[in-house]
Chains A and B, each alone.
Chain A
Amino acid sequence: MSNVTGIGVSVKRKEDKRFLMGRGNYTDDIARPGMTHGYILRSPHAHAKINAIDTTEAEKAPGVVAIFTGKDMAADGVGSVPCGWLITQKDGSPMNEPAHPPLVVDRVRHVGDQVALIVAESLAQAKDAAELIEIDYEEMPATVGVASAATGPLVHDEVAGNLCYDWEIGDAAAVAEAFSKAHHITKIDVTNNRLIPNAMEPRAYIGEFDKGTGEYTLYTTSQNPHVIRLLMGAFVLNIPEHKLRVVAPDVGGGFGSKIFHYAEEAIVTWAAPKVGRPIKWTAERSESFMSDAHGRDHVSHAELALAEDGTFLGFKVETTANMGAYLSTFATSVPTYLYATLLAGVYKTPAIHCNVKSYFTNTVPVDAYRGAGRPEATYLIERIVDKAAREMGLDRVEIRRKNFIPIDAFPYQTPVALQYDSGNYFATLDRAEDMADVAGFPARKAEAAKRGKLRGLGYSTYVEACGIAPSAVVGSLGARAGLFESAVVRVHPTGGVTIFTGSHSHGQGHETTFAQLVSETLGIPLENVEISHGDTNKVPFGMGTYGSRSLAVGGEALMKAMNKVVEKARKIAAHVLETAVEDVDFKDGVFTVAGTDKAMPFAQVALTAYVPHNFPHDQLEPGLEEQAFYDPMNFTYPGGCHICEVEVDPDTGVTQVVGMTAVDDVGNVVNPMIVHGQIHGGLAQGIGQALLEECVYDESGQIVTGSYMDYAMPRADAFPSFKVDNCVTECTHNSLGVKGCGEVGAIGSPPSVINAVLDALLDVGVTDISMPATPAKVWAAIQGAKTAQAAE
């Protein structure tokens, strides 16, 4: 067993050595022979007509290789950047899906919209030339906020009322019936603040064309290179997939923002053969702010109907969601199937209805960001549950326990489509209360009061749906892609193993976690395993990494392929050991024959597979390499409890998080250290959303928070030492019993923080605060409550 570093071991990450030593290979590190540099000239206006673009002077500038505009791409028959998920409206009609040209032709629709590509020998020369391009803009009034989008200026002339779709889920009649019987109705209005993703590595692309073979190559900072190849090749540039290679090398963080097919990918790939040389484009940070798809941006009104004892009877929700100027790849699914289907939360609410209206605005497209829809659902539910408890004079923990889905009710069918396979919300709540020392809170609050601080405790009990997902289910809901995963296990003659996975690591640690699965299953040392991902010419068609799916879907595909390898190896061992296949056991990396001392280590079987001197070739193929595709039966359903403790300084409004406990049930855990690291990162983003981060536009559509000078990213000193633990109920439909851990931190934590802030402010009369709860906002709320109390 000493060889094995298997499931449950917190081994340090294999990939970190090269990252920490600066030896990673990111897209911007790549220099191709003859490479040119691209600069994208972007719109300074939120909304404007382009009367003319004059590139004459710019083309004469030193070092300029070529300049392209939207007219060049349109003339070449370049298609629209596609949306990957069709939403059917409640009247049965398809959503409105206006064109999204990679370079605009005659109108810009958000600050940062792509207007021209300048290709030059150096980036500085491309920028110099860009300043010589004369554009005759005719500014138009802009639609900015989602709340007023329905009546704002039209972003797309053909889309009336800027409406992308009007969609619903659930049983409105059952909800009306429930509300008619309610003892109490709690109402709430919440905004889920718009976020800017801020991956550490900005987006970067290199487009290249091989004149000899006619093959295109795109190097890209993508979370899912095969999806990019499919979308860009088939829908935008009409390049057959066998002539298009997409490589996503080391990628420095994505958080969802690198799932999507971006216009710049198509622009550099399309332009590469025109200039006959590779073209590199790398986003500057300020460009990322105005061109990476943003996250969240919902406004919701919700009402919860309760019986006298606090039992939830019905829940109805009206949500307005911002799509931005164009539909990003999965934008439409986020406020619908990734959000409204989670509105049951961890509760057995029998009747739920949700209506979602999505609108176009003159802002950067909005799409999935860590959690994607599920943080929005969790925030809404956990805020209204706290508010209901307060209004009815019930204990906020008891009202949760009373309404939790019972342990024996799984599999549990919610009224909003999903069927949760497993969970135990009581266990995670109990463990979190214990770790957070809830019992000691009153004493801590009293001690804080002596220092003039308001101390509060906030809960969030949540469930999410990840491990996305069954292709059949998402297909029936409008997804234009499958959501399986692939794996190839290549056993080399001397026993080393290379795994080719369709998952893509951009910080998650797959090279370690997947290698642990291999070590455990094949009984070989971790260092004998290499994980290869991210190159469509090496890896079978895979769907990539997002939605906490790598282990639950990609890991399961790997297990399936390894099982095939073991079965093949067993046949080889049986042949060599001259026994029946059924008599061969495989354990700890050694094949043995029951009842004998015959044994054959895995590496020896591997060698025999490639040196098949006496194989019965009619029964046994040489080689030891297997491939598998895995399509899950269901989503996976991690859940848990987050408890946040804060101290508010009433003089300044500053909220300090002084305690953060997260107990998450992510199913079985392969590498606890990596899982806890993922949860830490998610908590940082969740607390960031709750207290610090917000993308702010002014009325004209300019981004006020266009840099780190105004967009508040969380720093380490914003956090206490997190207390993290896991309770396990196994996923019932995958062999590993795993669920997914990448997003739980960002999904569960924001309402725990805001509920803690409101708990702290209860005594001073504040009953509502919106995210982010900035010092200025908290202080103003306290002053407002004082004024209101003085008036009474």
Chain B
Amino acid sequence: MYAFEYHRPGSVADAGALLKANEDAKIIAGGMTMIPTLKQRLAMPGELVDLRDCADLKGITVSGGTVTIGAMTKHDTVASSAEVKGAIPALAGLAGNIGDPAVRNRGTLGGSIANNDPAADYPSACLALGATIVTTNREIAAEDFFTGLFETALEEGEIITAVRFPVPEKAAYKKFDQPASRYALVGVFVAKTAGGVRVGVTGAGQDGVFRQTDMEAALSANFAPEAIDGVMVSPDRLNVDIHGDAAYRANLIKVMAKRAVADCA
């Protein structure tokens, strides 16, 4: 780890000011990716702005068919929240299966989606539920937020403050663990909403999280596991590594999607 200046502002406004004043500054949320990156000397930020004390970035509210979760809310808090379990149990379940207890008690929603790891869990939920990413500057639809591997629509100095998840009629998330890391080799979030069925797929795509629109169409017509049987999942643009080739991931997308739909019943 290289030396850096460490800041711990008490509000998102102060954090924004620090970022503005220090061009070299990076945000640290839960640090579940940032800390290993620093320890391996793969990043050399001159300034680190820790958001942990920003009380205005934490908390969960449910109202008017929307679950709003502060960006610095930890996975464990989401997983154990009665409000989230009541409104979108699949989201609480997803949070409760990220990493291990240590990760869930440090890692945050905002950190996860800002990093946009192609095997992270939350991005699939954001896409499938049609979430809105609220930042210090604006509101961004999830569709527009995840732009590529480890890339998002966030601009310099822009901080995620919260994510708004519309409550679906039904939803379920099924993750197939990569055997070593237990990140999602393939994770599929299926949501039946008033506007139709949406399917978010993480872990599999070369460009990161994506919507499986063929499945969405099939499920919108018939929301049942067997509806997916007839959907051809192309291995094109899917990841290949020692844990699975594209054909295997294509298969897992179908299997996990079917299991998620079955879970919705």
Contacts and interface: CB of A to CB of B under 8 A. Distances in A.
Contact of A710 (B180, B244, B251): B180
Interface string A687-705: 0000010001000000011
Contact of B242 (A692, A704, A780): A704
A775 to B, nearest CB: 7
Give the interface SS of chain A, mostly helix, strand, loop or mixed: loop
Interface in B220-245: 241-245
A774 B179 contact: yes
A713 B180 contact: yes
Contacts of B176: 652, 775
B179 A705 contact: no
Interface residues of A, number: 24
Contacts of B179: 692, 712, 774-775
B180 A776 contact: no
Interface in B152-171: none
Contact of A776 (B1, B181, B183, B248): B248
B181 A652 contact: no
A779 B186 CA distance: 15
A410 interface: no
B252 interface: yes
A779 B251 contact: yes
B218 interface: no
A127 B176 CA distance: 38
B180 A712 contact: yes
Contacts, number: 47
Interface string A636-664: 00000000000000011100000000000
A626 B183 CA distance: 58
A708 B36 CA distance: 13
Nearest to A779: B248
B141 interface: no
B245 A776 contact: yes
Interface in A71-103: none
A713 to B, nearest CB: 7
A711 interface: yes
Contacts of A696: 242
A31 to B, nearest CB: 21
B76 to A, nearest CB: 19
A160 interface: no
B78 to A, nearest CB: 23
A286 B247 CA distance: 31
B1 A774 contact: no
Interface of A: 124, 127-128, 131, 286, 651-653, 692, 696, 704-705, 708-713, 774-776, 779-780, 783
24 contacts: A127-B41, A128-B2, A131-B41, A652-B255, A692-B180, A696-B242, A705-B242, A708-B180, A708-B181, A710-B181, A710-B241, A710-B242, A711-B180, A712-B179, A712-B180, A774-B179, A775-B176, A775-B179, A775-B244, A776-B243, A776-B245, A779-B248, A780-B245, A780-B247
A-B complex: 8 closest residue pairs judged by Cβ atoms: A712-B180, A776-B244, A712-B179, A709-B181, A651-B255, A776-B248, A710-B180, A696-B242
Given A705-B180, A776-B248, 17 more contacts: A127-B41, A128-B2, A652-B251, A708-B180, A708-B181, A709-B183, A710-B180, A710-B181, A710-B241, A710-B243, A711-B180, A776-B244, A776-B245, A779-B248, A779-B251, A780-B247, A780-B248
